[in-house]
Structure formats: C-alpha cells, structure tokens
Amino acid sequence: MKKYLIRSLCACAGLALFTLSSARVQAQSNFNSYTYDEWEESVAAPASYEPVMALNGFQIGSGPLNTPQDFFMDDNGHLYVADTGNNRILILDADLNLLETIETVQMNGEELPLTDIEGLYVTEEGVIYASQTSSNRILIIRDGSVESTIEKPVSNLISDDFIFSPTKVGVDMYGRAFVLSQGCYSGLLQFDTDGSFMGFFGANKVEATADVIFNYMWKSILSDKQRAAMTSILPIEYSNVDCSKDGFVYTSTVGTQLPKSQIKKLNPQGNNIYFGVGNEEINFGDEEFQYTRGAANYPSFIDVKVNENDFVFGIDLTSGRIFERDQEGELVAVFGGMGNQLGTFTTPVAVEVYGHRVYVLDRLKNNITIFEPTEYGSLVEEAICLYNEGLYPQSGELWGKVLDRNANSKLAYNGLGKVYAQEEEYTDALQYLRHSGDRYSYSRSFAKNRLVTVRAFGPVAIIGLIVVIVAVRVVLRIKRRAKK
C-alpha cells in the first residue's frame, strides 16, 4: 500500500513538473506573431514582445480610470496619464505604482480643475503641456501652477472662424510646441518657446485616389460657381504627434485611403523623410488586409512613438496591433491585437516606450498594458543597433542567432548578407541577400563579385582566345599550303 502511495505521489510530482515545464516552453501569447516575406505574405515568426501585465485603476491604486485619452513617459520613468473622464492627471512610476494625483492646478491665484485633457506632453524639466480641447487652450504647468497658456493664435494665416481645439501636443528639444487642432487640415500649428505662433507645419497631402482624380478632372471643366458647389477635397488630419530626441517630428494619420505613409517623419522644413529602400513610401501596418463588403480595412494609426534607438512604434486601431519598424521602414516586430485577453485591446489610444518596455493605454478597457521584449525580440533590436553603429562582425553574430530562431526573418538574411558584403565575401553575401529580397544590395554585391570574377579570369580568357584564333589561322594556312 505504501509503495503504491509513493509511486502515485511520484507520478503526481512528475506530472506537475511536466505540466509546469511544458507551460514554460509554450509561453503562448494571446495574439499571433508574424512577419512578412518578399511577396508581402505573412509568415510565422517567434513572438518579439510579450505582455507582462495589464493594470486598471484599482490595481494602480487610483480608483477606476475613466476614458483616459493620452499618456506620456518622461526620461525618468514617470508616466503621466491624462485620466480625462475623471478630470485629473496621474503620475505613475515605470512599474505603474501611483506617485501623485493632480486634480487641480493654480491659475491666476485660483484653483483650476483639469477638465477634458486630451493630450499630454512633459518636457525634460518636468513642465507639463496639457491640451484642454473644449476650452480651446493648452495649459503649460510647472510645479502645480499654470505658467502660461497657448490659445488661438492671432495671425493672418488664421481666419476668424477658425476654431482652435487642440487635441495632441508635442514639444521638441528647443521648446517649440507642435499642436494638433481638431478639424485643421493645414498641418500642425507650430509655436515658439514664448508661445507665439510660427506657422503651419507639414500638412498631409491629398491622396491621389480615383475619386480625387475624377473630381480634379471635373473641376477643370466646370465654372467657378459649379466648382464651389462641389465637395472640396481635404487632406486627412493627423492623429498624433511625437518629437524625437534628434529634432524630428513624427506624426501618425488615422483612416488613410491608401495604405501608405501613415507614419511620417518630418524634418525641420516640414517634409516627410520617412521612406524605405528606393525612396518607396512605407506602409507602416499590415500588408494583408481584411475586407468588409469589398472595401479593404486599411491600417489606421492612432499614435506613434520613437524610442532612444530610433525604432518607431505605431499603434493601429484597425487590428489593435503595435508595429515596430526601423529607420529604413523594415518591419522589426508586430504584437498585440484585438480582444479581451492580456496583451490585446478594444480601443487603444496611446503607446509609450521606456527602456525596452512598451506601454499601451486602452480607452475602453481603462487600463495600461506593459510589453517586454522576448529573447528573440531583443536579439533583433540589438543586431540592428550594432549594424547601424558599424560593428559589422558583432552584428553578424547576432543575426546568426536570430536566424537560428526564425528562418523567415528577412531582416536577418539582409543583415548577414550585408555583413558578408562588408567582409568582401560576395558568394555568401549574394546567397543571403537573395533570401532577404533586397535587390539594391544584391545588385551592388553582384557588381563587385562580377568585377572580382572578371579580374580573376579575364586575362586567362583573353590569352586563351588569342591562342585559339592564332591556332585556327595557322592550321588553315597549313591546309591551304598542303592543297597547293
């Protein structure tokens, strides 16, 4: 009897161990992870980011959140959450512990409640830019009191019936504010450090869809009066703005008609400089679309964030996924999705990064989700960083490791190929570059390889050719003499 007991105990322990270990091995996320191959078809890939936790207001210790619209992570790991429905700003640490709650601020000696805050930005000195959309102003808050405000600018660029309703705001390293105003199609409003209006900045262009071209043709025929009666075509307004440390302004656009350039990187002139290899416009989101009644559900980006290594994170409202791309527009990671489980969202509104962590705010679920990179995800990022710094052999080693974990990784093939090309091992380089689908790099390596081949065999071939020609002539002459 005792024997049986021990045996069954052992079996139980074994089973427990087995289930535990298998649970660790599986480590399955609640969403699919994938990447795209050369022909824009999705192929399986290991998870790059995994959800660590998702906390709601109770778990944070602030009481329930109510439709939070935006949050911002500063350099010290302090997360400022605009809890819009509750008229307050929460300050949390990087692990989402509540540090401070701001409900009112001092303004002209009076207590001002923080109503209807849709956008937040915090500078390095801890100055909070909070946009009050329905009050048509932006509060600049230093140490709990309003230092100044940004209100509807007076300028001949702006008509009298223009309604200044700021939603999102970004502040660059020089203290210039880039403001997004609802219903304003001329781009971002740019304000100087002293709050004076500098002009519009980087408007979206009208997309050349069939409708637009058709309208344009009609308008060239019609009279002015008829033209005025037609619907005017306006570019789509931006949905969010982020200022990177190196002085560029990133913008995201919701609801584009064509899946192109949803995320823009604007240089100081306000021009988009975010393009892929061969100056192609980047589709930041999914390449495969789902269709409802024949119309494609294109990706629709609600927020964008750039981390310290210049990786761009954009969050897509259509699929609930977060896309991470590098500066060449290559897909680094896809994670998240729509749903009710950990790591999925119903209405994501904002994304932030701190160190390696990614934070996502959900407006309807009223919670904040934290993602951390997996071993695979951090390998990929590290390899890209090393390559960009010019440390080719080291990055090659890492790309090898990435390839061990994901044979579908276009990035890894590309990285290894370029490393081999650097080391002038063109045969290997060509093989890897071919798998990566990067024809530009392939062409460059091919040209160099061709030169090497021609140099190696060229002299021999030419000498051989001369020898053959001479030999044929001699033989012919001898034959002719023999005939005589």
Partner 1 sequence: MKLERKTASNPFYTVMHPFDASYDIRFKGKGNAPASVVILAVLFLTTIFQRQNTGYIFNYNNLSDLNVFLQFATAILPFLLFVIANWIVAMLLNGTGRMRDIWIYTAYCLVPFILGNILGVLLSNVLVMEEPFASYAQVFGAGWSLVVLFIGLMVMHEYNFVRNVFSFACTVFVMFILLFAIMLVGSLASDFYNFVATIVREVLLRVS
Residues that bind partner 1 (CB under 8 A): 38-39, 434, 439-440, 442-444, 446-447, 450
Distance CA 130, CA 123 (A): 11
State the minimum distance, in angstroms, from the CB of residue 38 to partner 1.
8
Cβ nearer to partner 1, comparing 30 with 431: 431
State the minimum distance, in angstroms, from the CB of residue 412 to partner 1.
19
State the minimum distance, in angstroms, from the CB of residue 430 to partner 1.
8
Cβ nearer to partner 1, comparing 109 with 278: 278
State the minimum distance, in angstroms, from the CB of residue 450 to partner 1.
7
State the minimum distance, in angstroms, from the CB of residue 36 to partner 1.
13
Q: In what order do the strands lie in the sheet with 331-336?
A: 301-306, 312-316, 321-325, 331-336
Cβ nearer to partner 1, comparing 41 with 375: 41
Cβ nearer to partner 1, comparing 38 with 100: 38
State the minimum distance, in angstroms, from the CB of residue 39 to partner 1.
5
Longest dimension (CA), the chain: 124
* 3-class SS of residue 238: strand
Distance CA 90, CA 80 (A): 6
State the minimum distance, in angstroms, from the CB of residue 175 to partner 1.
45
Residue 304: C-alpha distances to residues 141, 186, 250, 265, 377 (Å): 24, 20, 7, 10, 19
Q: In what order do the strands lie in the sheet with 88-92?
A: 70-73, 79-83, 88-92, 98-102
Cβ nearer to partner 1, comparing 162 with 446: 446
The full DSSP string for 323-381 is EEE-TT--EEEEEE-BSSSTT-BSSEEEEEEETTEEEEEETTTTEEEEEEE-HHHHHHH
Cβ nearer to partner 1, comparing 401 with 439: 439
State the minimum distance, in angstroms, from the CB of residue 358 to partner 1.
33
* Entry field: residues in the chain: 484
The full DSSP string for 257-275 is SSSS--EEEE-TTS-B--B
Closest CA to 409 of 380, 373, 371, 440: 380
> 358, 313 in Cβ contact below 8 A?
yes
> 282, 299 in Cβ contact below 8 A?
no
State the minimum distance, in angstroms, from the CB of residue 434 to partner 1.
6
Residue type, 18: F
Cβ nearer to partner 1, comparing 148 with 443: 443
Closest CA to 87 of 29, 23, 139: 139
Distance CA 91, CA 99 (A): 6
298, 302, 307, 312: CA torsion to nearest 10: 20
Cβ nearer to partner 1, comparing 38 with 280: 38
State the minimum distance, in angstroms, from the CB of residue 439 to partner 1.
5
Cβ nearer to partner 1, comparing 33 with 35: 35
Cβ nearer to partner 1, comparing 286 with 438: 438
CA torsion through residues 305, 311, 315, 320, sign: negative
